[in-house]
Amino acid sequence: MASFIQLMVSGLATGAIYALIAIGFTLLWQTSQTINFAQGEFVMLPAFFVLAAMNMGAPYWLAALIGIALSVVILGVLFKAVIVDPMIRHGVLPLVITTIALSLFLKESVKDFYSSQAQPFPALVAPRDLHFLGAVVSLQSIVVLAVAVATVIGLHLLLNKTRLGRCMQATAQNPTVARILGIPVGRMVLYTFLINGALVAIASLLISPIYLAKFTNGEALGMAAFIAAIIGGFNQVRGAILGGIILGVLDNLSAAYLSSSYRGAFPLVILIAVILFRPQGLLGRVEERAV
């Protein structure tokens, strides 16, 4: 029981990080038909922004802010202006291929310009264990979970409780009418790219202390976000949250109780099962958008 609680907490923490990445992934899809196969590298990269800032002498908190800001500008604004806007005119598939190329480019650039070695990355809190109902739970897992949950709640409030959020939802659901009603559709789409930039940076700050900062981190993370989005339902923010949590928890439980050598296979098995039996995802609806 004690170890089950430990596994659940660390599973939830990992799952919450997957959820953040998957939310950004689905947001981009909903507002601009961007399927971003570089999303994993988008999470890998901000850690190196932070490390670079710290190498220049910035304290951790300042470096973290710089990392988030750079991520919003480069992975949000520049990504949209330089890659998405010119490519989406040619269709969804050319853009997908371009994001795959971008993922390779980001990965190799980090390897060449920074290092191919895994870099230690500072944690948000000093390592400490909490004792809870006989279980030992790491404080870091709790903090990761808290930050991720706070981020999701903040995003939920923004999307559902403000006029801005309603305009963003309207843009995603029916851009033609949104435009006629005078909603600045282009700007709303840009905001989702900014939000994605912030989400991947936060995910990077949370996951890099666990995985260490390494140029290959994006491979597993991008796949996890993609699977989480598919499991939950590609066109739903709540789906991405559910998918991320399921994936994180199952990942931890299966490694402990079934077989750690097949750990990597379980998410893929779930993915195949979902695609076979419920292709719209657990919470998804059959795609309503006429593209």
* Positions in the binding site for another protein (CB under 8 A): 158, 161-164, 166-167, 169-170, 173-174, 176-184, 288
Nearer to another protein, 90 or 161 (CB): 161
Interatomic CA distance for residues 181 and 190, integer angstroms? 18
The answer to whether 20 and 148 have CB atoms below 8 angstroms apart is: yes
Nearer to another protein, 90 or 166 (CB): 166
Q: Which tokens is 193 given?
A: 């790219």
Nearer to another protein, 74 or 183 (CB): 183
Rounded to a whole number of angstroms, the minimum distance from the CB of residue 200 to another protein is: 22
The number of angstroms, rounded, from the C-alpha of 284 to the middle of its chain's C-alpha atoms is: 18
- End-to-end, the C-alpha distance of the chain in Å comes to 49
Rounded to a whole number of angstroms, the minimum distance from the CB of residue 80 to another protein is: 18
Question: Which stretches of 39-86 are assigned E, i.e. beta strand?
Answer: none
Rounded to a whole number of angstroms, the minimum distance from the CB of residue 87 to another protein is: 26
Rounded to a whole number of angstroms, the minimum distance from the CB of residue 38 to another protein is: 27
Q: Which tokens is 289 given?
A: 């958008």
Nearer to another protein, 130 or 164 (CB): 164
Phi-psi region of 124 (alpha: psi -120 to 50; beta: other; left: phi over 0): alpha
Strands 129-132 and 135-138: antiparallel
Q: Which tokens is 65 given?
A: 């802010």
Nearer to another protein, 162 or 260 (CB): 162
Rounded to a whole number of angstroms, the minimum distance from the CB of residue 184 to another protein is: 7
Residues 6+ apart with CB under 8 A from 156: 237
Rounded to a whole number of angstroms, the minimum distance from the CB of residue 172 to another protein is: 8
* Dihedral sign of CA atoms 241, 121, 264, 39 in order: positive
Nearer to another protein, 50 or 190 (CB): 190
Rounded to a whole number of angstroms, the minimum distance from the CB of residue 187 to another protein is: 9
Query: What DSSP state is assigned to residue 77?
Result: I
* Dihedral sign of CA atoms 121, 124, 125, 128 in order: negative
Rounded to a whole number of angstroms, the minimum distance from the CB of residue 155 to another protein is: 13
Nearer to another protein, 159 or 247 (CB): 159
* H helix or E strand, kind and range, residue 157: helix 139-161
Point out which residues pair with 138 in neighbouring strands: 129
Nearer to another protein, 129 or 287 (CB): 287
Helix, strand, coil in percent for the chain, rounding step 5: 75, 5, 20
